Amino acid sequence: MDERQLQILRELGELGSVTAVAEALHVTPSAISQQLRLLQRTIPVPLTERAGRRLVLTQAGQALARAAIEVETALARARHTVTDFTEQPDGDVSLAAFHSAASAFFPLLLRGLTGPGRPRLALADEDVAQDRFPALTRDYDLVLAHRLDHGPPWPRTVTASTLLREPLDVALPTGHPLASKTLLLPHDVADQPWITVHDGFPLMSTIEAIASVANRRLDITHRINDFAVAAEAVAAGAGLALMPRWTTRKHPNLVLRPLGAVHARRHIDVLHRPERTARRAVRTVLAQLHHAAAQIQNQDTHAPHPGADTTATP
């Protein structure tokens, strides 16, 4: 038995004929009769009987019709409850982000979503390999993920939108001989020691591209995923590193220079399961993320010094 069948039984009890029920529900009499037959198969006693040319409810049918009113009332309450939940402006919203995105976006979100009637954020850091980001949408409403500009797309099981297309620059100590250049090429940096991320993380593809264009294997001395830690290692003279231009904090002892001859840019995308945005609170946070992305790009505090080549900038 289902809601539609119970509704038909209730209307039959009130209207007194299949034809009248069909007119009230804007369907054919045969469709009404078919639903009544399907309902009857699930009930061990007769629900209707003939009274002359009319089909009327038996006592069992009348009892079930009264119960149908209670069922319809309960379902209406449930629908209103769901509507209230989805339209609640200050609902809880969980958001996960990898480290550099968390550092850039979390403060802007927390400041932008303060006050009554705003979503309540539950923030978490999740620094995982690229292929593991989609699975995080099972546990979080929204997930900030990264992939290279030319990397494979996200699976169709999640909805994705791009917040930033962020250039990747070469980070050097301020006194490094290459710091005087406005644009670095792979052959400029191929003989330098390198600090890079662990295998499986998107930036490794750009490191491999540098090695391919320079036609030599890079000397990778350290594997550090956290850009803040990597920045300290670069500043200490441990090697060069790739750094996102906008989402890493400015370091007083580092300079960033754009990289030419290779495609050095990453996407910062927000992933979610399609049903999550049925909630107003999630939609509010999603809109605030796009607003924060515009703020981050407009600040551009890590842009190369004047006169630098900016062809990598989106």
Residues 6+ apart with CB under 8 A from 238: 193, 195, 221, 222
Q: What is the pLDDT of residues 119-130, one digit of tens each?
A: 999 999 998 988
pTM over 0.75? The answer is no
pLDDT at 300: 66
Q: What is the pLDDT of residues 189-201, one digit of tens each?
A: 999 999 999 987 8
Does residue 72 belong to any structural domain of this protein? yes
Residues 135 and 174 in one domain: yes
User: Of 33, 54, 86, which residue constitutes the final position of a domain?
Assistant: 86
Residues 98 and 71 in one domain: no
8 Å CB contact between 189 and 178 = yes
Residues 148 and 187 in one domain: yes
Q: What is the pLDDT of residues 224-269, one digit of tens each?
A: 999 999 999 999 999 999 999 999 889 999 999 999 999 899 999 9
Instruction: Write out the residue range of the structural domain in which residue 30 sits.
Output: 3-86
pLDDT at 153: 92
Looking at the chain, list the stretches that DSSP marks H as alpha helix, in order from N- to C-terminal side: 3-15, 18-25, 29-40, 59-86, 99-112, 133-136, 186-189, 203-214, 227-235, 280-299
Q: What CATH number is given to the structural domain containing 22?
A: 1.10.10.10
Q: What CATH number is given to the structural domain containing 230?
A: 3.40.190.290
User: Of 58, 86, 114, which residue constitutes the final position of a domain?
Assistant: 86
Residues 96 and 173 in one domain: yes
pLDDT at 183: 97
What total number of domains does the chain contain?
2
Residue 137 has pLDDT above 90, yes or no: yes
